[in-house]
Amino acid sequence: RTVCGIRNKTLIINLPVIDNDCIAAIADTLINTLHLIRKKDDKNKETESLFANAYFLNSSDNNVSEQEWTPTISLNDALLILNEVSITSTITENTESVKISDAYGRILHKNVYSKYNVPSFRTSKKHGYAVLFPPISLKCGTCVWVKSGAPIPNEATAVVEEKNTKRIRSLLNNDKVYIEIMSKPQYGQNINPIGHHMTRNKLILKRSTRIGPEEMGVLAASGHKEVVVVQQLSIGVLSIGNNLEEPGKPLKPGYVYDISRIIIISLLKNNDFSSSDFGIVNNTSSSIKENIEKALDKVDILVTLGSANDKDLLKKILLEYFHAEIYFGNVNIKPGKSTTLASCKINDKIKYCLCLSGNPVTAFIIAQALLLPFLKNMSGNEYAEIPILPIHVNNPFILHHRPRLACTYLKWSKDNVATACSMGNLFKDKLCNIVGSNALLILPSENKEKTISNEKVSGLFIERPGIFNTKKE
């Protein structure tokens, strides 16, 4: 039978068997009971954490299949959901004005129109001679030398290219030089009109455009001092695990360095996203709840690493404590099956959590396939597209019952065919495989064939190739 007692302010409960209903009943009163026993107002976080973990892991809710509330969806469906969430999000409505010098990498919030004609004068297309030269009225037939791109005298009607002229010195004792024109010029020949590059009040950049080097030049030329851009996303990165250590510190037995967080933060930085580092938290319910709550109070999008599996705490905490909406919690892909997207309200604002595996290779691959497209769309970049291309696979890859994303390095044959180079990842990727990879192969799930080779598959371009191979493979 069940026996309960108190000794030295310690509550002792003896259960003859593990009964989920009994544990659930005890959970409703345990914290208050401990407060009365210890006569303290503050919660005993350690006790709460230990019990909450046990409750989550043994709750009768776990008898219900995870598939009922986190159904498995395809990678393509996950991308569609991410896109739909970004479209309906209000984050992109937050804007700010920035100086042109600070606009690089930002996303335009509205269309930009040129304030001036560029250039504001006629220019020459070629090196050559233009007729007439103001302000002095000269006789017809007078010409002046102009360079390509230089202003054209107002009275000039054409520019004769230098190769179609011949210089002749005067036979008289003066400094005059005569130009023999060897081809008949046409009216307006070799003259660019005012506003040749940009016309005043004409659209030059569309909203949602990411401002790169070319856009910086256009904005500077058009006379704008500032532009209205989408406010930068506030992103946080949080690692969850009991055996993680900060890189550089001595490792305790059984501990590993937290590589995933550094990879994700660096990947975000490489794609013009700044992020807040929320460090490492223990894999206990109270620690996870407390740190997620603190993070979401500061950022709009939180990327978590670890504890994302169906048997872990994170999904249950998001549902039970944060009353989150789970958009998806299982993706039919290897690696990254447990990838989860959720949203919840913090201080009347919608916040988003994208939960990735704590495995560094999985985190890198899924960040390329799902996280970056999501953030680019959320930042207002409507023109961001996932670069997918056909790739020829020469070396064999072992297939899985789920479609697989595999790191590879692309080379181009003489016939401009993208070919996947083997990185020693026949069965699965290792940490060393992500170094130098510039694409992810999208391998089909296994059927009758257990391997795939000498075939074409789709691939996700993740980095510009460092070498274009000109030799035929």
Helices assigned H by DSSP within 17-147: 20-38, 45-58, 75-88
Q: What percent of the chain has pLDDT over 70?
A: 84
Task: Report the CATH number that the domain containing residue 453 is assigned in CATH.
Answer: 2.40.340.10
Q: How many CB atoms lie within 10 A of CB 155?
A: 14
pLDDT value of position 321? 94
Q: Within this chain, do residues 316 and 331 fall inside the same structural domain, yes or no?
A: yes
Helix (H, G, I), strand (E, B) or coil at 456: strand
> Rounded to whole angstroms, what are the CA distances from 334 to 255, 306, 404, 429, 433?
25, 16, 5, 10, 15
Q: Within this chain, do residues 264 and 348 fall inside the same structural domain, yes or no?
A: yes
Comparing 424 with 408, the larger pLDDT belongs to 408
Domain boundary among 207, 230, 253: 230
pLDDT above 50 for 73:
yes
Q: Is 131 exposed, middle or buried (0-12, 13-18, 19+ CB in 10 A)?
A: buried
Q: Are 304 and 297 in contact (CB under 8 A)?
A: no
Which pLDDT tens digit goes with each residue over 91-136? 878 899 999 999 999 999 999 999 999 888 888 888 887 755 444 4
Radius of gyration of the chain (CA): 33
Q: Are 454 and 394 in contact (CB under 8 A)?
A: yes
Q: Within this chain, do residues 236 and 373 fall inside the same structural domain, yes or no?
A: yes
Phi, psi of 17 (to 5 degrees): -140, 160
Which pLDDT tens digit goes with each residue over 151-191? 888 778 888 888 888 887 665 556 677 787 788 888 888 88
The answer to whether position 430 is within a domain reads yes
Of 152, 208, 228, 132, which Cα lies nearest the Cα of 383?
208
The answer to whether position 472 is within a domain reads no
Tell me which residue range forms the domain holding 112: 97-118+199-230
Q: Within this chain, do residues 246 and 311 fall inside the same structural domain, yes or no?
A: yes
**112-116, 296-300, 384-388, 444-448 — which is least confidently predicted?**
384-388
Q: Are 421 and 410 in contact (CB under 8 A)?
A: yes
pLDDT value of position 39? 56
Helices assigned H by DSSP within 271-309: 285-298
> Rounded to whole angstroms, what are the CA distances from 96 to 102, 206, 207, 230, 231?
12, 17, 14, 6, 6
Which pLDDT tens digit goes with each residue over 43-59? 444 444 444 444 444 55
Q: Are 152 and 159 in contact (CB under 8 A)?
A: yes
The answer to whether position 105 is within a domain reads yes
Task: Report the CATH number that the domain containing residue 183 is assigned in CATH.
Answer: 2.170.190.11
What letters, b where the CB count within 10 A reaches 16 and e where it falls short, cover 424-444? ebeeebeeebbeebbbbbbbe
The answer to whether position 56 is within a domain reads no
Return the ∠ at Cα 375 (arms to 456 and 92), rounded to 5°: 135
pLDDT value of position 200? 92
The answer to whether position 143 is within a domain reads yes
Average per-residue pLDDT for the chain: 84
Q: Within this chain, do residues 236 and 87 fall inside the same structural domain, yes or no?
A: yes
Q: Within this chain, do residues 132 and 187 fall inside the same structural domain, yes or no?
A: yes
Which pLDDT tens digit goes with each residue over 259-277? 999 999 999 999 989 999 9
Q: Within this chain, do residues 9 and 21 fall inside the same structural domain, yes or no?
A: yes
**19-28, 325-334, 341-350, 457-466 — which is least confidently predicted?**
19-28
The answer to whether position 65 is within a domain reads no
Q: Within this chain, do residues 340 and 430 fall inside the same structural domain, yes or no?
A: no
Q: How many residues does the chain have?
A: 473
Q: Within this chain, do residues 251 and 372 fall inside the same structural domain, yes or no?
A: yes
Q: How far apart, in whole angstroms, are the C-alpha atoms of residue 272 and residue 211?
A: 11
Q: Within this chain, do residues 112 and 127 fall inside the same structural domain, yes or no?
A: no
Q: How far apart, in whole angstroms, are the C-alpha atoms of residue 125 and residue 114?
A: 22
Q: How many CB atoms lie within 10 A of CB 188?
A: 13
The answer to whether position 216 is within a domain reads yes
pLDDT value of position 273? 94
Q: Within this chain, do residues 447 and 395 fall inside the same structural domain, yes or no?
A: yes
pLDDT value of position 170? 60
The answer to whether position 70 is within a domain reads no
Domain boundary among 327, 350, 379: 379
Q: Within this chain, do residues 298 and 252 fall inside the same structural domain, yes or no?
A: yes
Task: Report the CATH number that the domain containing residue 217 is assigned in CATH.
Answer: 3.90.105.10
How many structural domains are present in the chain?
5
